[in-house]
Structure 1
């Protein structure tokens, strides 16, 4: 993607990458980067998790094959990239095993081209600069409180009233930025330190091996969700005795999806909602709508036109949310599904269409779960 650095008004190319865990899977990434390098003009930053090391010395414990290192090195050489100066720990990942089997690797890195090193030297995104936002937010609040105290003493002073307006605006902006920063900081801490290191299974046996922990959760949820239950088939004759969709309802449900509906569905998804497997939240779609809006609308319309949903859109990440502060048992977690934004958009469009016809089909004595109705309306006095 093309990025404009506001402070310096300079533009550069940014490529965010994630390498597959297997050698063959990473070949596609190397090929894509090589092809992209031929059309890049100007500063270029390539960063992310490459899932392999560039030299043997960047892995401590375990081993790396010459083949995977040679492929990565050949790609970097063809693209004319090199490591950007980095701060902090030399290794960015470890397997969290015991000392005898612990493996450290530098899988995450930032690569830059020659143009970047020449033109973008003054851009330094260090943690000291960003961490200061917490202190800035606090100072802005103190400044606002001081101004308001002066207004109490001088109620009619126009200068202090004008200063208050600017101070409120500044504090709101810094407070919002600080909230976003702390949110990202919390996510980073959870990714680094929030792994489940030990758990008790349904029989009360404790496991600390990652594979056994995984099997304990699978066994528990399969016992809840994996059992087949005999059900009675729906009697169509009984269904037809009640209200059903007529021609007018079908016309509402089957009318073409519009660009306005798709945009409204996307923009109704809150920005801070956890992203799905593709890593994009609704904030990305909203901020980039002028660029990607037409393509997003076309993709969504194709789903309704063909009746087929790509597997990539239908992919979901299952996340375990603790029910208590210190969970120790598999039953003390609640699973949630993190879906892609486009999947959520399609679901919302279907729900919005159904919402137009369901109130006319569902009987009036069904009070709950219908917009505009309340279960209280069905309370009778005997």
Structure 2
């Protein structure tokens, strides 16, 4: 079910022996049903603050504390960039359970979603035409300015291209596979039907393409190069998301004792705190130029090589040495984009880079 789930309350069971203090230690037989249920449904524990043990037996002779109350959310929360956390207060005198307060946070509410080039786009048959249509624009200005404006203008074309062909890639891949299976069943009952045979071939190509695109999508989003390329990478991606959620800082206590939960305020507090520790100035000594004459030095020939004019071929060689799976540059474009579309954008890439070496100025 591709919906957002949020389940909270008293589950009357702990997930591990560490969630119970005093009393009989729970066995794996007692824990496995709840643990397997959460695993099969893809449910994750929301980060919590306050009381860790949310239930108390209220027995002075046989005290027991357990974490029975919890907040669970499914993987779809991670996909859309939502995050929730729960704060459990002391139980007080009216109940043996801790009251919980759930906060729902939108990680991208305060900022637009940045552009990112996904390498799967480059494998689509309409990719080159999309790049050509978006690139062949007349831009006035300096070489670097024109190049940057073209990259920026192309983002709109690529976003529309993504929405048309790759939006909700997992759903598209699953639907394509189901359509292929339906056609294969029809062909089994009517093996002499040439139209169905042709349809099966077309649907197989589409299903394979979308399955590969989905795999590359999660491989790139996980941003790790040691992933096995033989699987869909969805499980690893969600594991990475869960780990990021667990390690996220949702609340901190300031030096004055107050608690803040705003992501912006938390960031500002960290900057202020470490600035007070590390932001002091120290006295520096003057540089002794004689130091540069010590040790080995470059020959005149090698020194001239450092000053040699960079060629377009060197620019291309340097770019093509970059792995296509490296993290993209700040503008969102990966090396894959420039490699695949080099015959379209290559001349202007070289011109912009050579302009930097000639002028020693980089457009910001």
Asked if Structure 1 and Structure 2 have the same fold, meaning a TM-score greater than 0.5 normalized by the shorter chain, the answer is: no
What is the TM-score normalised by the length of structure 2?
A: 0.37
What is the TM-score normalised by the length of structure 1?
A: 0.36
Larger relative CO (CA 8 A, sep 6+): 1 or 2? 2
